[in-house]
Structure formats: structure tokens, C-alpha cells
Structure 1
Amino acid sequence: MIVDFDNDPRNSIIYTSSIILSYLKCESNSKNLDDLCRYCLNGKMEYSIFFLSIDWMFLVGIIKEINKRNEVVLCD
């Protein structure tokens, strides 16, 4: 699941995490979780892969938290 070259590599956690991270690092985009989810789902990312990637990014220390304002906070 992390790297799946046999099927569609666009469904791997590493690829989808890079899409999420590039969205979060762009200054003009909101860091709201709902906006991020909408952006990824419009880009044909599966719902389950999106949240699996968010969880993985939290576990490896890329995402610090999702705060009370529903914003994704990156680690420093």
C-alpha cells in the first residue's frame, strides 16, 4: 500500500502524501481540512486513501495536529 507499482502508483501513500503536502505548503491555499479534502477528492483521489495519507503524515511527523479551527498544522 505504501508503494504499489503493480496497480496504480497514484494510489500509493507516498504519492498522495506529496499531493497533500504540496497543497499545504502553497501560501495561497487554505489549510482547512475540508478544503484540502475537497481539493484531493476533485483530483480523483479516493476518500480512504486521503485519510490514510493524513494518518501516515501524522505518524511520520509531517503533520503536527488538526486544531479546533479544523486547520491542518504542519510540524516546524
Structure 2
Amino acid sequence: MGLRSRLRTPLQARRRVVVKTACYRLVMILVSIVVAYLVVGDVTDALSIGLITNVVKTLTYYGYERLWDRIAWGT
């Protein structure tokens, strides 16, 4: 049985995954900025760290969610 035949239709609409991802990332951006500020003590650096790392994390999370939503194992 090939990989294609083991995949299934996603349970969530793409729009729902995007909204969930965006809401989660907004909270995580705030957390990252606060932690970065506590570590570096500079607002500009904290904003840069918080924003850049979270752009990368958002894209990674979206891809991860989409991948697992197509795997039938364990459902």
C-alpha cells in the first residue's frame, strides 16, 4: 500500500487551520517578546527577536498541522 492510499481527507478546513495558527502565534509572539526583553533588556532587540522567530515558527507549525491532518494513523 503506497503512501498516497494511506492519506485521508483533512478533518479541518484550511481556513480554520490558518485562523488557529494566527491566534496561537499572536499569543506566542507576546510571550517571546516579553521573555526576550527580560533577557536582553532592550525593547527594540526584544521586538526583533520575538517577531523573526515567530514568523519561522508560524510557517513550521502550519506545515506540521497540515501534514498530521492528512495522516490516518491513530485516528
TM-score w.r.t. length of structure 2: 0.31
Could you say which structure has the greater relative contact order, defined with CA pairs below 8 angstroms and 6 or more residues apart? 2
Higher strand share: 1
The TM-score normalised by the length of structure 1 is 0.30
Structure having the higher helix fraction is 2
